Amino acid sequence: MQIIIQNPRQNLVNALRQCGYHFERHHIQTSEVSAAKNLGIGGFPRFHCYAKLDDDKNIVINLHLDQKRPSYAGTRTHGGEYDGELVRQEAERIKKLFEI
């Protein structure tokens, strides 16, 4: 699910922290930041997002729910949920934090 935060008052990483997410890494090739918000013990399930600034300096967040850790060694494939009730609720929570 995509969320756009227009005219953010802080930088990308701090905006994600305000939402309760922790920084994971910066993907240099795509200029995206990866961040997660753990919901359970052991890191899963968790909300996971890729976020970046668009050409107008708005924050674009692509959000999904990782239900479990990738199950095959050497792959990044996971059981991600991109549009379910929990994802919609989390997107609404984030929007309210920024009064979108």
Query: What CATH number does the domain containing 21 carry?
Result: 3.30.310
Cα–Cα nearest to 8, from 63, 47, 60: 60
pLDDT (tens digit, 0 to 9) for every residue of the chain, 100 residues total? 999 999 999 999 999 999 999 999 999 999 999 999 999 888 899 999 999 999 999 999 999 999 987 766 666 655 689 999 999 999 999 999 998 5
53 in helix, strand or coil? strand
Domain that holds residue 10: 2-97
In angstroms, rounded to a whole number, what is the distance separating the alpha carbons of residues 35 and 44? 13
Q: How many domains does the chain have?
A: 1
Q: Which residue has the tokens 């729910």?
A: 65
Global pTM reads: 0.88
